[in-house]
Each structure stands twice: as C-alpha cells, then as structure tokens.
A and B are shown apart, each in its own frame.
Chain A
Amino acid sequence: MTAATTGVPAEGTATELPRLLPVSGQHQEDWRAHLARHGRLPYRDAPGRLIADVRQAGLTGRGGAAFPVHRKLSAVLDAASERRRSPVVIANGAESEPASDKDATLLWLAPHLVLDGLQLAAEATGADQAILYTHAQRREDVGTRLRQVLAERAAAGSDRVPVELAESPARFLSGQETALINHLGGGPAIPAFMPPRITERGLRGAPTLVQNVETLAHLALVARHGPRWFRQVGTKTEPGSMLCTIRRADGSPRIAEVPMGIPLRDVLGPVSHDGAVLIGGYHGTWAPAEAAVQLTLDNQALSAVGARVGAGVLITLPADRCGLAETARTVRYLALESAGQCGPCLNGLPRIAAALAELAGPRPRRQARADVERWSGLVTGRGACHHPDGTARFVRSALITFAAELDRHARGRCGATNSRPFLPIPGGSARTEEDWL
C-alpha cells in the first residue's frame, strides 16, 4: 500500500476532491461507511439507460487509453442485442505498470465504489456475468479483503449480477485487454493480434466490456450525481478527476486524486531546473522538468512534450540519479516482459536494452546511440500489441531529455552520485509459460 493518500485540494472548484478515495485518507470504507457517503446503487432498471449520462459526462477510461466509456458501453449493448448473447463485464485492476499504485489503493480503500460501477456497467450493457480481475499477488491481503467486501454486498443484497474474482499473473502485459481475455479464457496472459473487437466477441465469444477499476468508480458516481456534477472539475474537453501515483524525488510515493488539467507544478512540487520528469509510466515519456512544470495534466497540454496522462504515473527523477541508467534498467525489464510473440519486439527490445546499457556506461561506442534510434523506429507499429511502441516512445524521450547526460557519458563521465536504483522494477522475469498463467 502506498504510504500517504491525499486528495490535492482543488481550490476554487465547485466540487471537493477527493470524490473516489475516502476523505479520511487511509481509512478503508466498509459497506456502512460507503452507504453513508454515497447512498444506494442507483439502478436504472433497464439496459442502456445510463449510457446517455456517461456520454454527457465525457467520462473516458482511466487505465491509460482514455477511450470514451459510453462508446464501449454502446458497442457491447448493441453486440449483445444483435447476437442475442449476454455480455460479460470485467473490472480491470491488473495495474501491471510497476510504478502505478492507484488502482490497488482504490481497491483497498474504496472497493465498494468500484463494485457499484461494475454492477451499473453490467446493468447498462445487460450483462449477466461480472469479473473483478486484480493483481492479487502484489498484495497478499487484497484477495481476502475483496472476498469480505463481496460477502458484505451479498448480505446487503446490493448486487444483481454475481461477481467472480480473478487473478492476473505478475506480468507487465497482464492488463492488456486481449491478454486479459486470453487469460480469463484459461490461456496465458499474452496479447492477440487484431481479434474481433472484444466488445463484439471477447471472453468465450461473448460481447465483453473491459473497464479499468477507477473508470468504474467514476461511473458509479456519474450514475448518482449526473453528468453536470462530473464536469464541475476538470477541463472542458477532459472533464472529471483522476487518480495519480506521484513519486517525488525526495519522498515515498503518494496517491492523489486531482482534477484533470491541474498544473503539473502543483502536483510535482519543487523540481530542479535541469531535472527530469517521467509522465505516464514505462510506456510514457521523459520530459525536462522545466518544460513539464509549465504544463497541465491533460492530454491536450501534454501533447506539447509528446506525452499523455496515461494511467497517471508522475515521477520526478532525483537530481543525484542518472536518467540513462534508470532508463536502461527499465528497458531491460520491458524487454524481458515482451511476450516474445512478434519478431520485431522479440529481436528489437533486447538489443535496444543492451545498447542503452552501453550508453549508460562509460565511453559507449558512437554507434550505440544510432542503433537505439534505428531500432526504436524499427519496432514501432510492428507488434500485435503496443508494447514495442510504448517502449520505443519511452526510449526516444530519454535520448532527447538526457542528451546532456549522453554527452557526459561519451566523455567517460556521469552526472549521478547515487547508483542506487530509483524506478521500481519487479523482480522475477518470466521463464516458462507457467509464468504467464
């Protein structure tokens, strides 16, 4: 569990934050506390009725892709009626991005809000099956806690669709939608290439809705308070709030619920003038801290530095660390997390990782940098999933942001005084197929 949980106060906004997380910080919301704060589930008593509210709210997926939620809901509802097959709804809490902890924190502190959202999404699509997919191994007690929570709901008679708990393997790609469907269907959690859209044919052929757990929590509140309330925070084009995992250079990670469009300066705190910030996690973008603090936390603004909000990971690199060394170590991890299915990813990522390790060392060959640049271009857009693309984006942004450090290394120097790893990397890469199950 990430240490401090805070809502950054949203001064001057009509609605107070946090909306999703408990106001009291670390305190877990049980069924009674949840009911006292949010009230009962506002079922609409027919499929489809919630979708217009979700569309007007402008709610987008909070798992990283920011896809409009109403479009997925409609697609699943339509596929279900066309094919006369009941859909499945899946809450995706795999959160396999190692630097992110917001979904686990939300599930720990406010699980009922997520499960309310799952029930309402089931009703909106006419689903008769619901699954909560989490990375339980990450925290041993999460499974136990969620079973208690489901028992509380059963006792209260709140749920209309039974919820099954499913566990994701500890792989970076486990939360990728097609990997998740493969895994829940009994196979390894590896991506598929252009399957029929899972909203049409997903789990065991059923129309399937997959939504990030935070997205479902927002959905549960949109259903209660309506689209206008939802839009009281955030920007016009990117409304609402979002959970972020913030890792500042000087302290432990924090989870904050912030309005979309909040100045990054307010989130990141003090940064050094030649520092760097990682926006969006390990498929994200390094940016110079000086440029980052001029921006706001929304995709429109972040596009100025080629970044996206993603799943809300914001990391300030400590001034005493080497950005190249951190990037090289992370890319080695990403290369090991390739499912190894596609030639360009299987061949390219380990080579990129090795060349980056060389660049992070003293006096790399001149060719190493050109190799990294060429291979990053070569792997992009050539995988079944976006793993090579995301990795290449991360790598290219490092070459730009750490250009001065590259020059220092070329002269046999390094700007860092601390070689202790900073970015969190899970131990234990996959060795056999078992590790993907």
Chain B
Amino acid sequence: MNEKLTVNPIECEGHGACAELLPELITLDEWGYPIIDDRPVPPFLERDARAAISACPTLALRLLRA
C-alpha cells in the first residue's frame, strides 16, 4: 500500500479518536485537533490506520494515494 492519511479540516471536530488508535502517526495539537504524519503509512500500521478511519465520528479521516 502506498497511501497516506489526510484529514478534511472542515469536517474534523477534534474528537481525537484517531490519535488514540494511531498515536504513531497522529498526535493532537493543544486544541485537540489532529496533526498527521503524511508520509506513506507503513504496512505494519495499515490495520490501525483503517481502525482510526472507521472510528472518526465525522468521517473526516481518509487514506489518499501517496
């Protein structure tokens, strides 16, 4: 997989579920909004990335082809 994570900043409401499920690639800023490592998602994190995407209450997180 050569994909990277991206967040739609308009949809994102800063619930923070993504950072809990994928702390390796997502941290939260001081207001609770995700800061995303936009390098290609390494294979060993693919499953967690998909979990983070499914957990987003506003469907703001997505994988894009890198």
Chain A residues engaging chain B, CB cutoff 8 angstroms:
192-194, 341-345, 347-348, 378, 382-384
Interface residues of B (CB under 8 A from A): 8-14, 29-33, 35
Distance, CA A341 to CA B58, complexed state (A)? 14
**B10 near A193: Cβ-Cβ < 8 Å:** yes
Minimal beta-carbon separation of A7 from chain B (angstroms):
43
CB pair A344–B31 under 8 Å, yes or no, is yes
For residue A344, which residue of chain B has the nearest CB? B33
- In whole angstroms, how far apart are the Cα atoms of A296 and B60 in the complex? 43
Q: Is the CB of B9 within 8 A of A347?
A: no
Beta-carbon contact of B29 and A192 below 8 Å: no
> Which residue of chain A is the closest to B32 with respect to CB atoms?
A343
- Docked CA distance A209–B32 (Å): 37
A384 to B9, CA, bound (A): 6
Is A343 within 8 A of B8, CB to CB?
no
**For the complex of A and B, 6 pairs with smallest distance between CB atoms:** A342-B9, A343-B33, A347-B31, A341-B10, A193-B10, A193-B8
The reply to whether B10 and A342 contact each other, CB–CB distance below 8 Å, is yes
A382 proximity list for chain B (CB < 8 A): 9, 33, 35
Which chain A positions have C-beta within 8 A of B9? 193, 341-345, 382-384
Q: Which residue of chain A lies nearest to B8 when distances are taken between CB atoms in the complex? A: A193
A344 to B7, CA, bound (A): 12
CA distance A425 to B9 in the complex (A): 28
| B35 contact set on A, CB distance < 8 A | 378, 382
B58 → chain A, closest Cβ, in Å? 11
- The answer for the CA separation of A345 and B10 in the assembled complex, in Å, is 10
> Which residue of chain A lies nearest to B64 when distances are taken between CB atoms in the complex?
A194
In the bound complex, what is the Cα–Cα distance between A341 and B31 (angstroms)? Answer: 14
Q: What's the least CB distance linking A352 to chain B, in Å?
A: 13
Kindly state the separation between the CA atoms of A384 and B8 in the bound complex, as whole angstroms: 7
- Which B residues touch A343, using CB under 8 A? 9, 12-14, 31-33
Q: Are A192 and B33 in contact (CB under 8 A)?
A: no
Distance between A304 CB and nearest chain B CB, rounded to angstroms: 29
Q: Is the CB of A194 within 8 A of B33?
A: no
Which chain A residues lie closer than 8 Å to B8 at the CB level?
Answer: 193-194, 384
CB distance from B38 to the nearest CB of A (A): 9
Question: What is the minimal beta-carbon distance from B51 to any residue of chain A, in angstroms?
Answer: 22
* Cα–Cα, bound, A342→B9 (Å): 5
Query: Which residues of the other chain, B, contact A384 by a CB distance below 8 angstroms?
Result: 8-10
Alpha-carbon separation in the docked complex, A342 to B33 (Å): 9
Closest beta carbon of chain B to A82's beta carbon, Å? 21
A192 to B9, CA, bound (A): 10
A293 to B19, CA, bound (A): 48
B44 CB to nearest A CB, Å: 26
CA distance A252 to B14 in the complex (A): 46
Residues of B within 8 A of A378 (CB): 29-30, 35
Question: Max chain A CB contacts within 10 Å: which of B10, B12, B31, B35?
Answer: B10
**Cβ–Cβ < 8 Å partners of B14 in chain A:** 343
Q: 5 additional contacts, CB 8 Å, given A344-B33, A382-B35?
A: A192-B10, A342-B10, A343-B12, A344-B9, A378-B29
Between A and B, 25 residue pairs with Cβ closer than 8 Å are A193-B8, A193-B9, A193-B10, A193-B11, A194-B8, A341-B9, A342-B9, A342-B10, A343-B9, A343-B12, A343-B14, A343-B31, A343-B32, A343-B33, A344-B29, A344-B31, A345-B9, A347-B33, A348-B31, A378-B30, A378-B35, A382-B9, A382-B35, A383-B9, A384-B10
Shortest Cβ gap from B28 to chain A (Å): 10
Q: Across the interface, name the chain B residue whose C-beta is closest to A342.
A: B9
Q: Which single residue of chain B is at the shortest CB-CB distance from A383?
A: B9
- With a 10 A CB-CB cut-off, give which of A345, A378, A382, A384 has the most chain B CB atoms: A382
How long is the Cα–Cα vector from A347 to B31 in the complex, in angstroms?
7
CA distance A115 to B24 in the complex (A): 54
* CB-nearest residue of chain B to A382: B9
Cα(A267)–Cα(B58), bound, Å: 50
Chain A residues near B31 (CB-CB < 8 A): 343-344, 347-348
Residues from chain B with a CB closer than 8 A to the CB of A347 are: 31, 33
Cβ of B27 to closest chain A Cβ, rounded Å: 11
Which residue on B lies nearest to A348, using beta carbons? B31
- What distance in Å separates the Cβ of A200 from its nearest Cβ neighbour in chain B? 17
**Complex: chain B residue closest to A379, CB-CB:** B29
Cβ contacts under 8 Å, A345 to chain B: 9
**What is the CB-to-nearest-CB distance from B17 to chain A, in angstroms, rounded to a whole number?**
15
A383→B9 CA distance, assembly (Å): 6
Question: With a CB–CB cut-off of 8 A, which chain A residues contact B29?
Answer: 344, 378
